[in-house]
Chain A
Amino acid sequence: MRGLQLPLSQTQRIRLQRAFEKLQSLSSKANSDASVTVADTIPVNYEDAFLKGHGTTDLNGELVATVCGVVERINKLVYVRGLRARYKPEVGDIVVGRVVEVAQKRWRLEINFTQDAILMLSSMNMPDGIQRRRTALDELNMRGIFEENDVVCAEVRNFQHDGSLQLQARSQKYGKLEKGQLLIIDPYLVKKSKLHFHHLEQFGIDLILGRNGFIWVGEHVETRDRMVVDQANSSQQSMVLEEKNQTHTPLEMRQNICRIANAVRVLSTLGFSIDADLIMETVELSSSLKIDIHDMLGSEFHVLVAEREAERRSLMGKRRR
């Protein structure tokens, strides 16, 4: 069983246990037989036609699970939704990745997939914003756009016939991420939603929930395509001045970033699915109780968040009824 590695006092342990029991009773699926482990037989009506989907295999005429997870049935399709696996990309997903290699006309990005993703130079908006063919000179200046170990936000474009993954960054909102923190959590905790870019106005912070479990918390930038100032046109002096402005982040901003990042960390250790509302609620809980940023990772705050979540879900359940 996945245990939390936290030093809990006796009362904290009981409170946490009670919160988890409440969560368990609220969840409809955990109590039913929907959970399967590797090599469990999935009950299906063999007389009806059914389609076997991901995470299932056929064994002597029986439908058998190949991963641990939850059985889902959509019309005729029966599949097992695995938990805790690496990221499985879908076209159109917004992901955050880290550059591992600058290669010929492309960057290789680590995005927690089975292979490194590819971001072609041609599927990038050029910094000067002009649509044109990429020249050899552009290729030589690729390190001016992204270097190794840069954090980049992009969108999944398509799968190549050989199974490799291509990304694109054809908008102002994609591109290099600076002045913030990258958090890596399990991808199954990030729900797919209409909005993955969040601008938290009261803090002046951008929150990007990458579908691959990479979460970015950083200072808000108006246009994110400030990556390269056209070297030829800008004078050297203004560049230096601008850079000085860019490198300085006020203390308050850094504290805000840390508070939000710690909220994400707490939620992911507890295994709660993460969205912007829940993160903000956790942040508000911590600041209303005047909990220091570094105390947010302590056991007491974990227990508080678990209790709060149990309450929230029970309220949500009632409202639905």
Chain B
Amino acid sequence: MSKTEYVSPEGLRLDGRRPMEMRQLRAEIGTVAKANGSAVFEMGNTKVIAAVYGPREVQNRSQQLNDQALVRCEYSMANFSTGDRMRKPKGDRRSTEISLVIRQTMEACILTHLMPRSQIDIFVQVLQADGGTRSACINAATLALADAGIPMRDIVTSCSAGYLNSTPLLDLNYIEDSAGGPDVTVGILPKLDKVTLLQMDAKLPVDIFENVMGLAIEGCKAIANYIREVLLENTKQLEYRRGL
């Protein structure tokens, strides 16, 4: 069996990108009218919608925290999001894990102590899956939380990077993701310059790992710049429309 070439001799990847090139980003705020905050985030063909409700009254009184807000997160994947239409039961292991990851990442940046005895619900759904859903979900959730006016320490941005054909690759798509190589997902707080999420399900030598992670962090920073631009534009628009 011949080995698939993920990077051609000319230095191009399967979808025509350079190894350190990211897919095109697109973000839209305010897509769910009823939610307190909502956003759609696209990275190439990966498309994710996020909706935030709250801070609101805690539904289950026994979970109420007296000194901080309760953050809940639900991740789901639309049945039509992948090529093969699989009926996945709600609450399978993969989505439970990603829900937990997103919840912990967002909880780290929300100033929960300012909203005691309340609950914040984050719902993210993958509309199109083409690799990097985890990072796209985190980016969408950040935008939605900022739209909902929830105080945050910093915005969280996330990006993935991999290592195939002895080349570090930024922002893997589905084909590269399923090649079985290492896939490093990093989430950072760009202003504080801190890592809040780091996941890898493979082995890598330390020196290469550092390169790959550095690349992913660069990707996160680029996404952060884009997200800030979108948020600033949105804020300005709301303000001038409101008038005096």
Contact = CB atoms under 8 A, between A and B. Distances in A.
Contacts of B243: 23, 26-27, 272-273, 309, 313
Contacts of B190: 39
Interface stretch (A77-85, A220-228, A253-261): A77-85
A158 interface: no
Given A84-B147, A273-B242, A273-B243, A37 B231 contact: yes
B97 interface: no
A68 B153 contact: no
Contacts of B242: 83, 188-189, 271-273
A271 B238 contact: yes
B239 A83 contact: yes
A82 B118 CA distance: 19
A66 interface: yes
A85 B120 CA distance: 13
Interface in B190-244: 190-192, 228, 230-244
Interface in A258-303: 270-273
Interface residues of B, number: 45
- Pick the most buried of B55, B117, B240: most chain A CB atoms within 10 A of its CB: B240
B152 A66 contact: yes
Contacts of A82: 149
A contacts with B: majority SS: loop
B56 A273 contact: no
A313 B244 CA distance: 9
Interface string A22-40: 0110110110000111111
A221 B90 CA distance: 50
Interface in B21-43: 28-30, 33, 36-37
Given A64-B191, A83-B149, A86-B55, A69 B237 contact: no
Interface in B135-158: 146-155
Contacts of B57: 110, 114-116
A57 B241 CA distance: 27
A3 B30 contact: yes
A38 B231 contact: yes
Interface string A188-202: 110000000000000
Contacts of B36: 84-86
Contacts of A272: 241-243
B111 A3 contact: no
A7 interface: no
A1 interface: yes
Interface of A: 1-3, 5, 20, 23-24, 26-27, 29-30, 35-40, 55, 57, 59, 64, 66-70, 82-86, 110, 114-116, 162-164, 188-189, 270-273, 309, 313
Interface of B: 28-30, 33, 36-37, 54-57, 69, 111, 115-118, 146-155, 190-192, 228, 230-244
Given A30-B239, A66-B151, A84-B147, 11 more contacts: A37-B228, A66-B111, A66-B152, A70-B239, A86-B55, A86-B148, A163-B116, A164-B117, A271-B242, A309-B243, A313-B243
19 contacts: A1-B234, A2-B29, A3-B30, A20-B241, A27-B243, A30-B239, A30-B240, A55-B151, A59-B191, A66-B111, A69-B235, A83-B239, A84-B36, A84-B37, A84-B147, A84-B238, A114-B54, A272-B241, A309-B243
**What are the 5 A-B residue pairs with the smallest beta carbon separation, nearest first?**
A85-B149, A30-B240, A271-B241, A27-B240, A2-B30
